[in-house]
Amino acid sequence: MKKKLFLASALSLSLALAACNGNDDKENGGTDATEGLETNIVTIATGGASGPYNIIGTTLADQYVKEFDVNSRTQTTGASVENINLLEQGKAEMAFVMSDALSQAVNGEVSFKEPIKNVSQIATLYPNVVQIITKEGSGIKTIEDLKGKRIAVGDQNSGVEINARVLLNGHGITYEDVKVDYLGYAEAADGLKAGTIDAAFLTSGLPNASVMELAETTGIQLVSVNAEKVAEIAKEHPYFISYDIAVDTYKNEEAITTAAVPNALVVRTDMSEDDVYDLTKKFFESIPTLQNSHQAANDITLDAAQESVVAPIHPGAQRYYDEQKK
């Protein structure tokens, strides 16, 4: 009987000591497995289903599911403006947006009646390249040739549409001078095939899946934008840069000069510092996997991520960047 009581007491003491050690580990930040996030859901607002935003975003969501055991998924949208509004409304936690739309959001301009408060930046991403596509033989070679034509400018209030309008205006062309169709990537490609539009803005990372398919099935021509004009436009809209689409990107025999706008990865400002730190850390650790999903991600780097920042950096992301400097 005494032996049984001794064993029971010893077992109780061992359990108590183990519990104390476990508490010490937690207090010291020790853990055997990856800790979860405070949030159970990480919805990533992207863009059209075939665009780089959604392809890269879906891969990132998969990484978050594996790492944090959360419900993470992408939501296809009309892109930048809608994505920022989803963050503001608390309907998404993270989003891919274009810097021009983000600049307008934080300043309360154009598509935003007042400054958006619930959006913070994690990183500057790869450049979104303005790809103006027409059919071979259309006679449209430069952006100035679009006057009087029927053109697709992206979904209404998307980042594609915002920069299309700015670039057209910078060349003295207003929406009154063209026939505008608000079409996403796939719809614009279908319109070019069917001949219902003359040209389309398909602004995205390179290459764009819809443009690649068009290049395979239809003779296409990339429309150029003069670099000096882009520099002029950038005086008022500093997020614009000149960019050359390389030879053979879309079976093109020569490089085509156009404009580009950096993309940004943003989150809700009201997300906790710890969660955004963890999401930022996993994002950068996942870059090789993101690059395998779409080559546009090849331009994402830690150094470039902190350049051309438009919105305030979230404290969680800033903590991660500060750690990398040590």
Has residue 4 been placed in a domain? no
Residue with tokens 């497995």: 33
Residue 16 lies in a domain: no
Q: What is the pLDDT of residue 105?
A: 95
Distance, in Å, from the CA atom of 45 to the CA atom of 91, rounded to the nearest integer, reads: 9
Range of the domain at 133: 129-262
Question: Where is the domain boundary, 246, 262, 278?
Answer: 262
Specify if 319 maps to a domain. yes
pLDDT tens digits for the chain (326 residues)? 444 444 344 434 443 444 444 444 433 333 333 468 999 999 999 998 888 899 999 999 999 999 999 999 999 998 899 999 999 999 999 999 999 899 999 999 888 999 999 999 999 999 989 999 999 999 999 999 999 999 999 988 788 898 899 999 999 999 999 999 999 889 999 999 999 999 999 988 888 989 999 999 888 999 999 999 999 999 988 889 899 999 999 999 999 999 999 999 999 999 999 999 999 999 999 999 999 999 999 999 999 999 889 999 999 999 999 999 98
Structure tokens at 163: 């920069």
Does 174 lie in the same domain as 103? no
Shortest CA distance to 314 belongs to which of 121, 85, 43, 86?
Answer: 121
pTM above 0.85, yes or no: no
* Contact (Cβ atoms closer than 8 angstroms) between residue 275 and residue 39: yes
pLDDT at 19: 44
- Assess if residue 221 is contained within a domain: yes
CATH of the domain at 78: 3.40.190.10
How many secondary structure helices (H) and strands (E) does the chain include?
11, 11
Please give the tally of structural domains in the chain: 2
pLDDT computed for residue 308 by the predictor: 85
Q: How far is CA 231 from the centre of its chain?
A: 24
Angle at the Cα of 233 (from 229 to 235), degrees rounded to 5? 120
- Looking at residue 26, its pLDDT comes to 36
| Long-range CB pairs of 210-216, under 8 A, 24+ apart, other chains included | 210/50, 210/51, 210/185, 210/186, 211/131, 211/133, 211/250, 212/250, 213/189, 214/133, 214/189, 214/250, 215/250, 215/251
Please check whether residue 279 lies inside any domain of the structure: yes
The residues pairing with 313 across neighbouring beta strands, listed in sequence order, are: 121
Helix ranges (DSSP H) in 179-314: 185-194, 209-217, 227-234, 273-285, 287-293
Question: Apex CA 141: angle with CA 135 and CA 147, to 5°?
Answer: 95
